[in-house]
Chain A
Amino acid sequence: MPLWLEVLIKSVILLFVVVTSFAYAMLAERKILGWMQLRPGPNRVGPWGLLQPAADAAKLMLKEDLTPETADPLLYKLAPFISLLTAFSVYAIIPFGASASGQTWAIGNVNAGILLILAIGSLGVYGICLGGWASGSKYPLLGSVRSTAQMISYELAMSLSFVGVLILAGTTSLDGIVNAQARWWFVLPQFVGCMIYVITAVAETNRAPFDLVEAETELVAGFHTEYSGLRFGLFFIAEYVNMLTVSCIATLLFFGGWNAPLHLTFIPGVAWFVIKVACFMFFYMWLRATLPRLRYDRLMAFGWKILLPLATLNLVVTAIVVAYTG
């Protein structure tokens, strides 16, 4: 099989899997939020509301696609695609499991995978930033300015929390990091790093309690105030796909990837991967149901004055320990 055909088939399958998981992650979020607020959640379309994503998709496609008069038409139309493209392209290098012979299940196996993920993840801010700016109205602009500041400041602590893992694993390739966790998951030696990653990941994906980018009490809907119909839907997909991405990365870096815990190897590795990612997704929804939004200055203070020094300290301590013991 030629390489391009193999990559194409893998991409189509993966795209289908990711979009389906997005649809049901959204439904699961609405259900779980409902249960935590003593509501049943969507339950009208299909059994237990299982066809709700299809109904939502049809609704969004049929809505009018508005462009404000003051908007920059090209950037305004391009921005959702930038968001979506960067969100999806990360999946080209995320490994989901390994066969018995050690072959990794991924579209591409990059030896600097973690760096590439960081690089692509940083591009994601462009979609939000450009979308907010090109809307030509003030709430989206404020939202996108916030997003830029927030994502840049939390990305620092996030990258530093990766470095501790890289020092322990001695490699930047994602399957190398997973294989290094065959005995111990890195959440144990890197507990602080893991906590920092989880917090910054919430901020990176603009989720509650760090969803100041779309704080509806202050900014109507933040960067996507002016977007409607399918283009709004694209931002929406990008947000959830980003959630899935950071859950995948947390699983790969700190929770052993597809390694089975307690030698429960009768469940295949891919299933373990999915279970771990699902737990993270649940955690995000749980956080959203629990915590109120932070005030903006406190968000920045928390990122720069607490998380960044803590991540640096964690990195230094890890480096010293590894230098003396390893």
Chain B
Amino acid sequence: MASRKHLYNPGAILKGLSITFGFMFRKRPTIPYPSLKKQHSPRFHGLHELRRYADGKERCIGCELCSSVCPANAITVIGAENSPDDRRSPGERYAARYEIDELRCIFCGMCEEACPTDAIVLTPRFEMADYRRGSFIYDKDRLLVPPDAGVGMPPDDRPGGIPGDLGRVAEIKSTTDVDTGYSATWRGEILKTQHEGLAILKKPEAQE
């Protein structure tokens, strides 16, 4: 009998029709993606980035902690000794090779947490589609930020020689993104478009 009640009850059908009619005039939550981008949290786990200190030295000291903590075995690090006349990083060692296979990566952020110098961080960038598998292996050329985009004081210059900005990854990420902003890199651009996108979204008539 229950089925009969639902099937032949015109009141229920009219109620359903009124609900769908009302939905026609509701605000649609769609963001027209390629032209307007959703704003992600600054802590969003996207494509990696290898960072530098403010003086341009690489933060990575080639310790391979990221590579050993990586649950997907996506990171390959081969460290090398710094030579006195060409110091790449403040420590004794630097990463001669640093490669991340973004097809293996599960974007868990363990590398970011393991890194003692906050060298490897995940950025909000997520558009990495490509036609060739090989192009998903990101090497140092593509991971490392430009020399003028470094942040933070290297440990040698610090009073008491405190190594790195331990445990302050999130804070650094949010402040560097919004305030200093890597204007030379895509990271600044994406945040800029995100902020513009948010401004457009706040206008009520912008959505079709």
Known: A36-B20, A298-B7, A302-B7. A43 touches B26 (CB 8 A): no
The answer to whether A35 and B208 touch across the interface, beta carbons within 8 angstroms, is no
Measured between beta carbons, the chain A residues less than 8 angstroms from B32 are 40, 43
- A43 near B208 with CB under 8 A, answer yes
Q: How far is the CA of A291 from the CA of B10 in the complex (A)?
A: 12
Partner among A36, A291, A294 whose Cβ is within 8 Å of the Cβ of B23: A36
Complex contact B26–A290 (CB within 8 A): no
Cα separation A286 to B13 with both chains bound (whole Å): 12
B16 contacts partner chain A, Cβ-Cβ < 8 Å? yes
A235 to B178, CA, bound (A): 56
Whether B17 and A35, one on each chain, are in contact in the complex, defined by CB atoms closer than 8 angstroms, is no
Q: Mark B21-41, 1 if CB is under 8 A from A, else 0.
A: 101101011101000000000
Q: Is B9 an interface residue (CB 8 A)?
A: no
CA A294 – CA B8 in complex, angstroms? 11
Chain A residues touching B, majority SS = helix
Could you tell me how many residues of chain A have their Cβ less than 8 Å away from some Cβ of chain B?
A: 18
In the complex, A306→B7 CA distance in Å? 12
Min Cβ gap A169→B in Å is: 27
- Compute how far the CA of A287 lies from the CA of B16 in the bound complex, rounded to whole angstroms: 9
Residue in chain A with minimal CB distance to B27: A38
Tell me, in angstroms, the Cα distance from A146 to B17 when the chains sit together: 27
- Report A-chain residues with C-beta under 8 Å of the C-beta of B13: 290-291
Task: State whether A48 touches B26 (Cβ < 8 A).
Answer: no
* Closest A residue to B23 using CB positions: A36
Q: In the complex, what residue of chain B is closest to A285 when comparing beta carbons? A: B20
Q: Please tell me if B83 contacts chain A, counting CB pairs below 8 Å.
A: no
User: Is the beta-carbon distance between A286 and B7 smaller than 8 angstroms?
Assistant: no
Given contacts A48-B208, A298-B3, contact A40 B30 (CB under 8 A): yes
| Interface footprint category on B | 10 to 19
Q: Please provide the chain A residues from 262 to 294 with a CB less than 8 Å away from any CB of chain B in the complex.
A: 286-287, 289-291, 294
B208: chain A residues at CB < 8 Å are 40, 43, 48
A290 near B16 with CB under 8 A, answer yes
Contacts of B28 in A (CB 8 A): 35, 38-40
Contact at A291–B24, with CB atoms within 8 Å?
no
Taking the nearest CB of chain B, how far is it from the CB of A154, in angstroms?
Answer: 16
- Pair B20/A306 contact, Cβ less than 8 Å: no
Q: Is residue A67 contacting chain B, with contact meaning CB distance below 8 A? A: no
Q: Which residue of A lies closest to B13 (CB)?
A: A291
CB pair B8–A37 under 8 Å, yes or no, is no
In the complex, how many angstroms separate the beta carbon of B4 from the nearest chain A beta carbon? 9
Asked if A168 is at the interface (CB within 8 A of a chain B CB), the reply is no
A291 to B24, CA, bound (A): 16
A32 touches B24 (CB 8 A): yes
Interchain CB contact (< 8 A) of B24 among A36, A48, A302: A36
The docked-state distance in angstroms from the alpha carbon of A290 to that of B22 is 11
Q: Is the CB of B23 within 8 A of A306?
A: no
Complex CA distance for A286 and B22, rounded to whole angstroms: 11
- In the complex formed, the residue of A with least CB distance to B4 is A298
Q: Which residues of chain B have C-beta atoms less than 8 A from A39's C-beta?
A: 28, 30
Q: How far is the CB of A132 from chain B (nearest CB, A)?
A: 27
A39 to B3, CA, bound (A): 31
Residues of A within 8 A of B23 (CB): 35-38
Query: Does B16 lie within 8 Å of A291, measured CB to CB?
Result: yes
Complex contact B29–A38 (CB within 8 A)? yes
A36-59 contacts to B, CB under 8 A, are 36-40, 43, 48
- Judging by beta carbons under 8 Å apart, are A290 and B8 in contact? no
Q: Tell me the complex Cα distance, A302–B29, Å.
A: 38
Closest 6 CB pairs of A and B: A290-B20, A35-B24, A36-B20, A290-B16, A289-B20, A38-B28
Binding site for A on B (CB under 8 A): 3, 7-8, 13, 16-17, 19-21, 23-24, 26, 28-30, 32, 207-208
Q: A32-B24, A35-B28, A287-B17 are in contact. List 13 more A-B contacts (CB 8 A).
A: A35-B24, A36-B23, A38-B26, A39-B30, A40-B30, A40-B32, A43-B208, A286-B17, A286-B20, A290-B16, A290-B17, A290-B20, A306-B8
Interface CB pairs A-B, < 8 A, 7: A35-B28, A36-B21, A37-B23, A40-B32, A40-B208, A43-B32, A286-B20
Binding site for B on A (CB under 8 A): 32, 35-40, 43, 48, 286-287, 289-291, 294, 298, 302, 306
